[in-house]
Amino acid sequence: MGIPGALQARDPQAAARSSTLILLVCAAVVTGFAVSTQHDAGPSVLAAHGAAVVALLGVAGACRLTTAERYDRLGLGLLTAVGGVVLICALNLVSRDASAAAQAFFAFPVLWGGSHLRPAGVVVTTGVAVAGEAVTLFALTPPAAAAMDLLFFGSVLVVMAVMLVRAGRVQQRLVGALEQQATVDALTGLVNRRVFDAALERTLTRPAGAGTALVLVDVDSFKTVNDSYGHPVGDDVLVHLAGILRSHVRAEDAVVSRLGGDELAVLLPGSPSDAAARRAEELLEAVRSTPLPLPDGTLLSLSVSVGVAHVPPGPGDLRALYSAADAALYEAKRAGRGRVTVAA
């Protein structure tokens, strides 16, 4: 059991490193403050500062030693932010300091939370910070002055939190767009070769079922299509074929990719050789029976050559599997195109 996902860190690993650093810095600051004011402060104030240093070092050690997954599950990110607010409030009350400098410290947990927590966590941290500031101000200053200071400092904290949440959402959208560009072919929407190779490598490293099949699909006379109809139609051909392949394989048991140019690939983990050959024949027939509508209303019949290679259960070699499928593909082309060849 752990805290809800909405209250967890956006990036647990980065948050854990940042937590450790900021907690150590805060421990050093509190220690320096206690040493510099030890002649004026009473024993209770010094004891409170000492306890705060011990707590800070303890949480810093926990953040440093725990894994990112455990850090998130235990909610150490939210604990760092909310705990910082509680600590600031307690030290201000013990030292009876309601100055502007003391109130400014409430901004640090909000800043940290806005940089590392999800929006719900930022809301919790900011709410606790405003409440802690209200407790400090109304306990140490006249109500009228406390209300004015709370209005000012509370507004600053809320505006700061809103800006950080918005900036975080923009950053997430940009990161998501970059990740998609790095993994998805922009033209066909299929995964690119890097992702496909990684999936194939995982399948060969941890084989299951009846082995692994690799199906390579290459458009016949693709250069002629480009020369006769133009490159935009050539792009339409690739998009059309990607749609056919995607509609004839299930995402949960196959991976479809554009490897480059006019070559597409289908990974069939856990598939026996004969089943892979049947799937390849079905794809070939689907392409034949689904011509591409052109802008002028005519239909462009398409043909593909398909090479199939298979490795039995057990660790396999990625390069060897590619070479076998590629050899089968070119054998299909040499034999007249528009057919399926299975590697021996």
Q: Where are the domains of the chain?
A: 5-183, 193-342
**DSSP 8-class letter at 317:** -
Distance CA 323, CA 130 (A): 65
Instruction: Please report the pLDDT score of residue 55 as a whole number.
Output: 82
Count of beta carbons in the 10 Å neighbourhood of residue 281? 14
Instruction: Please report the pLDDT score of residue 301 as a whole number.
Output: 94
Instruction: Please report the pLDDT score of residue 279 as a whole number.
Output: 93
Cα–Cα nearest to 268, from 219, 309, 303: 309
Instruction: Please report the pLDDT score of residue 159 as a whole number.
Output: 94
Instruction: Please report the pLDDT score of residue 51 as a whole number.
Output: 83
In CATH, which superfamily holds the domain spanning 193-342?
Reverse transcriptase/Diguanylate cyclase domain (3.30.70.270)
Instruction: Please report the pLDDT score of residue 277 as a whole number.
Output: 94
Q: Residue 305's beta-bridge partner residues?
A: 218
Distance CA 198, CA 20 (A): 34
- Low-confidence stretches of the chain (pLDDT beneath 50): none
The DSSP-derived string for 220-268 is TTHHHHHHHH-HHHHHHHHHHHHHHHHHHS-TTT-EEEEEETTEEEEEE
Cβ 67 vs Cβ 118: under 8 Å = no
